[in-house]
Amino acid sequence: MIKIEVITDSPKKRLETVYEVAISKITDKTVEDITNLAAKAVDAVRHYIETSKKREGGTGKLERAIDYEVEKTSNGVVVGIGNIDKLNQEAPYWFVVNYGRRFDTGEEFIPHPNLGFFEKEPYKPTAGTDETSMWIHTGRSKDFLLTPKKFTPLHYIEYLQNFSIRGINEILTRIK
């Protein structure tokens, strides 16, 4: 049995089966192929996140927090991609980046407006810790209010699902 389930660490702790197929025999080669697929899927989703960013810069914490785990069982292998505890610890914004919603309430995520200015050229925000575009919070009256726009989610978990399903279908065609 090959099954892809998505567990979201949402307030409802939802489990969704997105793909399921029964196979008669799982060989060592099949286990190896599935493990290799997990490694490729992690690389692909990391690349997807990196190339889908809307702003320059970034810390790469989310990409580094996504990894895979392999557990051999009597029936074959269980592969998990994206350990929720690790994501919550190393990149607690993972839920917002994927779904565009707050984890705690499920409401659409829109950052709070801020009063301030960007100290140096090019006077625009960049993600990460680049000191040349540091956001300065002040109470000076000549500063302006930055009103954030609605956050656009990346849906990287859906990308990962689709990548994994395509890979599993390729594995299945080789073992039939």
- Mean pLDDT on 150-156: 86
Model confidence band, residue 16 (pLDDT cutoffs 50, 70, 90): low
Model confidence band, residue 3 (pLDDT cutoffs 50, 70, 90): low
What is the rounded distance in angstroms from the CA atom of residue 107 to the CA atom of residue 120? 34
Percent of the chain with pLDDT over 70: 62
Per-residue burial over 35-71, b = 16 or more CB atoms within 10 Å of its CB, e = otherwise? eebbeebbebbbebbeeeeeeeebeeebbebbbbeee
What pLDDT shows up at residue 129?
47
- Give residue-wise pLDDT tens across range 29-61: 888 898 999 999 999 999 999 999 877 777 899
Strands (E), 8-67: 15-21
Predicted model pTM: 0.73
Largest CA distance in the chain: 71
- Give residue-wise pLDDT tens across range 119-134: 555 555 555 444 444 4
